[in-house]
Structure 1
Amino acid sequence: MSSSNNSNLVVILGTGGTIAGRAAQASDNVGYKAAELGVQQLLDAIPALAGRPLEAEQLAQLDSKDMDFATWQKLARRVAEHLARPEVAGLVITHGTDTLEETAFFLQRVLAPAKPVVLTAAMRPATALQTDGPQNLLDAVAVAVHPGARGVLTVFAGAIHSAEQVRKVHSYKVEAFASSDGALLGLVEEGVLRLLGAWPAAGDGLGLARIEARAATAWPRVQILLNHVGADGALVRALLAQGVDGLVVAGTGNGTLSHALEAALREARSAGVKVLRSTRCDAGPVMESAGALPSAGALSPVKARVQLLLDLLA
């Protein structure tokens, strides 16, 4: 896709989330209902966006804990269609925080866009006394029109993260996201970008054909397991009995596994199930070692699951 922009048009795709949530009381930051407001309502609440060339489209309206494969297919298709328009400088996607990192990584692996696709969200509902959504959305638009910006990005609390690095690291604070190995791309300060790193590479996406060859209901079944004190192989064998296509295991430390869990995972591999070994640590890679189960590298367990899904869809 061309990176030349003849316009500063930004397309805003709404998918719901806390940023569009409402609570009965302004002091209530947790007892709200997500995905209550439309994306155009979110834009109308930000005077600084008035007069900017924007298009708004409500693509979905859900709490991101309920994000699903069908919505991913639809979202990737619409993003690709808008990116192909020469008048579009970039896109912004409003999303819930719970699965934002998974959606961002999915879109980057599938599309690897040469224009910016910026996911943003909020930790406080739109009705909160100090809601964070409007500033996050304003900052996301600033990144979407920044010359040279590209790739799938997350803009949150003034920080710009790449889809590969971003992780939700706090359950409540408005500074809820971090780059897992400190690889922050940049900051948005009063609408001005201060870059700290390089934009993601463009042009190595897997393509829409990879995710549209099967209906969402027929996508591979990939589950995540956790190593912990007393971990055994019972869950692995139960999943094998139910039918599973792939397993990601969040190991301890450098992807280490109890003997019993590793033995069950090797049984699964022998039965044709794909296995990836990640870590339950907040950051850092799983190093390859001779004879060990395959490593997910620096991917978190949830991103390793996305990668395994895409591999299996091939």
Structure 2
Amino acid sequence: MQAQNQKIVVLGTGGTIAGESSSASEGLSYKAAQRGIEALLRSVAEIGQGLPKALNSYQFESEQVAQLDSKDMDFATWQHLAQRCQAWLSQADVVAVVITHGTDTLEETAYFLSRVVATDKPIVLTCAMRPANFKDADGPQNLRDALTLASVAKGAGVWLVAAGEIHHSQHVQKVHPTRLNAFDSGESGVAGTVTNDQVSWRSDFAPVARADTIDLSRLPDPRSWPWVEVIMNHVQAKPKVVDLLVSAGAQGIVVAGTGNGSISTDLKEGLMRAQASGVQIRIASRCNQGPVITTASHIFPVLAGLSPVKTRVALMLEMASQTGH
């Protein structure tokens, strides 16, 4: 099949990339999710002499899946987004899906999609740290870079492109509240870069083992997805927090442990009570770099290489798929 018969699909979900502020000089105070995906696509051609040459032979489809600030992302939107990705990517003429998204919860959405969309084609997410009408908005270039990556990426994988950097969904985290390169992949590092409409993959980037995909049809209605919370170990962490969560109906607890996933004696006792009552417990680290290395001291399961919020997604999906139809 020739490129001119192939499509790249762009799905909009809102976020700062679609946001607007009161003036072109205001970059921090703004309202997210104001512009539609078609307007964002038009802005890509405006920052250069049209689209990158690599994209000229592709057709583009766009769809507004949601329009929200990603701090307000919810399970129903996740499910709908995953279903739309699956539907588009199942079409033979669609080579990739690009998603515009807010930065605050992008890493969670990216990991979620990597676990539920069964495809051998790439999904590329992008975002912005400045609203669309800011004088030096970063969104148009980020979207341009994401489209460029989508046109050349081969095989399965969920990726983030921002500030010229390519990150893998399993590793990436938002690590800064305001700077343009707000994302980092810790010890794994960036997978590659996009510069002047050219993609360069890092030669020593280690392939990421693909986690098992959970069939979307096995997941129940999002209103029935299990309640999984993240708590943190810290000085004098109180087990009462665990007891309150259990009594309120929490079905899973992820602990962002100190260091190599360590938990205080008092908090551990509360977690053991919770586990005995049927609550699922998982351990991660509050450190933003390096995986937890399982040792004999870990009495609760560790999902290697995942941050606390991604561990939460993994546990939630594990539990939801067991209760689905």
- Give the alignment's TM-score, normalised by structure 2: 0.91
For 1:155 and 1:4, the matched residues in 2 are separated by 26
> 1:49 maps to which residue?
51
Establish whether residue 299 from structure 1 lines up as the match of residue 301 from structure 2: no
Structure 2 portions without partners, runs of 5+: none
The one-letter code matched in structure 1 to 2:227 is R
Give the one of 1, 26, 36 matched to 1:28: 26
For 1:203 and 1:256, the matched residues in 2 are separated by 25
Structure 1 segment 84-163 matched on structure 2, within 5 A: 84-163=90-169
Q: Is the 8 A contact 1:17 1:96 kept in 2?
A: yes
Q: Root-mean-square deviation (CA), in Å?
A: 1.9
Q: Is the 8 A contact 2:86 2:118 kept in 1?
A: no
The one-letter code matched in structure 1 to 2:229 is Q
> 2:14 maps to which residue?
16
For 1:272 and 1:171, the matched residues in 2 are separated by 37
The superposition leaves residues 40-74 of structure 1 with CA deviations (integer Å, 9 ceiling, x where unpaired) of 01111222339652111000000000000000110
State, as a whole percentage, how many aligned pairs show the same letter.
45
The superposition leaves residues 145-197 of structure 1 with CA deviations (integer Å, 9 ceiling, x where unpaired) of 10525311111111111110111011100000111223321111111111113
Establish whether residue 208 from structure 1 lines up as the match of residue 216 from structure 2: yes
Q: Is the 8 A contact 2:122 2:153 kept in 1?
A: no
For 2:314 and 2:2, the matched residues in 1 are separated by 30
What secondary structure does 1:139 align onto? helix
What secondary structure does 1:160 align onto? strand
CA-CA distance at 1:273 after TM superposition: 0.3
> 1:78 maps to which residue?
84
CA-CA distance at 1:268 after TM superposition: 0.5
Give the one of 276, 281, 292 matched to 1:286: 292
For 2:7 and 2:101, the matched residues in 1 are separated by 20
The one-letter code matched in structure 2 to 1:251 is G
For 1:22 and 1:218, the matched residues in 2 are separated by 34
CA-CA distance at 1:111 after TM superposition: 1.9
CA-CA distance at 1:263 after TM superposition: 0.7
For 1:6 and 1:77, the matched residues in 2 are separated by 26
CA-CA distance at 1:112 after TM superposition: 4.8
The one-letter code matched in structure 2 to 1:54 is F
The superposition leaves residues 197-233 of structure 1 with CA deviations (integer Å, 9 ceiling, x where unpaired) of 366556942221233xx11111100000011111110
> 2:69 maps to which residue?
63
Structure 1 segment 185-196 matched on structure 2, within 5 A: 185-196=191-202
- Give the alignment's TM-score, normalised by structure 1: 0.94
The one-letter code matched in structure 1 to 2:193 is L
> 2:184 maps to which residue?
178
Size of the aligned set, in residue pairs, is: 310
CA-CA distance at 1:285 after TM superposition: 1.3
The one-letter code matched in structure 1 to 2:31 is K
For 2:309 and 2:118, the matched residues in 1 are separated by 19
The one-letter code matched in structure 2 to 1:20 is A
Q: Is the 8 A contact 1:276 1:296 kept in 2?
A: yes
The superposition leaves residues 111-139 of structure 1 with CA deviations (integer Å, 9 ceiling, x where unpaired) of 25311100000000001121100000000
For 1:269 and 1:308, the matched residues in 2 are separated by 14
The superposition leaves residues 22-53 of structure 1 with CA deviations (integer Å, 9 ceiling, x where unpaired) of 00011211110000000001111222339652
Structure 1 portions without partners, runs of 5+: none
> 2:259 maps to which residue?
253
The one-letter code matched in structure 1 to 2:215 is G
